Amino acid sequence: MIKEPAKARVLRLLWRLSGRKPRLEQFFSSLLTHRRYLPECEAKEIIPRFEESEIRIKQCPLGAWSTPLVDLVVLLKGTLGFESKRILELGSYRGDTARLLAENTGPETVICAVDIDEQHGISYRGLPVASRIRRKTGRISPGLFGKDEKFDLIFVDANHDFASVMNDTDVAFGVLAEQGVILWHDYSPQGYFSGLCGVPEALNQVAQRCAIYAIRGTWLAIYSSVNGWQTKKLSGGKPAASGSVWAEEGLRG
């Protein structure tokens, strides 16, 4: 963990004096620019055929915990670009993301959706795509998976506190295929003072041992070991675009 800067300590004090209001925490957290630990890349730099692949979204995800559409677009295009056949979703909630993954992939693709809540997956239950979605219920741990169970693409989107992200990340790397991709959600300035979002700090620590990039314009971070698309081959973060808005090409999150 990085030592908390003076600015963060002052804002933490003001947040506590305010009565720990969630909206004020969101505003104060957005001011902590030091939390942008990871280098950034454009989605098209790390996802094959990103600009050419087509996806279908018939029904938008619902609810405050649902993945924003721009992040879903990148995730779905990543699944198609990497031609992932074995997909793992850690933290499934209603199952909107699992359903969209199934709807945008072929019959040979299987999605494994994991959540601690037994009710997870109501978004796809009873639909034809449900036959390609395997549900697992329980705390995320190596014991949930078989000895030889591996996945080509893993989406980490369960609890976002520091300890949970570290645990889920360790589990993800343990079941990742030799050539595989991990995408983390909520690499964002949310929930710093309450500890509800420790994703930036967790990934900053993990990035000490492997190359992880933030995808500009999204709340996603990515690690890839796929031949020709390894994150370790990226040359480092690029500065934010400057000049006319007509020349900007980055995703809008």
CATH of the domain at 219: 3.40.50.150
* pLDDT for position 237: 59
Same domain, residue pair 73 and 45: yes
Is the distance from CB of 187 to CB of 38 less than 8 angstroms? yes
Range of the domain at 27: 1-35
Same domain, residue pair 217 and 167: yes
With respect to residue 212, please indicate whether it lies within any of the assigned structural domains. Answer: yes
Same domain, residue pair 24 and 63: no
With respect to residue 242, please indicate whether it lies within any of the assigned structural domains. Answer: no
Same domain, residue pair 118 and 174: yes
- Tally of domains within the chain: 2
d(CA 102, CA 134): 11
Asked whether residue 15 carries a pLDDT value surpassing 80, the answer given is yes
Count other Cβ atoms within 10 Å, centred on residue 49. 12
- Biggest alpha carbon–alpha carbon distance for the chain: 55
Work out the average pLDDT over 87-93.
96
d(CA 185, CA 192): 15
Same domain, residue pair 84 and 109: yes
Q: How confident is residue 65, by pLDDT bands cut at 50, 70 and 90?
A: low
With respect to residue 195, please indicate whether it lies within any of the assigned structural domains. Answer: yes
Same domain, residue pair 55 and 122: yes
Asked whether residue 59 carries a pLDDT value surpassing 90, the answer given is no
With respect to residue 250, please indicate whether it lies within any of the assigned structural domains. Answer: no
Same domain, residue pair 27 and 123: no
Asked whether residue 250 carries a pLDDT value surpassing 70, the answer given is no
With respect to residue 208, please indicate whether it lies within any of the assigned structural domains. Answer: yes
* pLDDT for position 249: 64
Task: Name residue 214's beta-bridge partners.
Answer: 40, 221
With respect to residue 252, please indicate whether it lies within any of the assigned structural domains. Answer: no
Same domain, residue pair 197 and 229: yes
d(CA 57, CA 69): 9
Asked whether residue 123 carries a pLDDT value surpassing 60, the answer given is yes
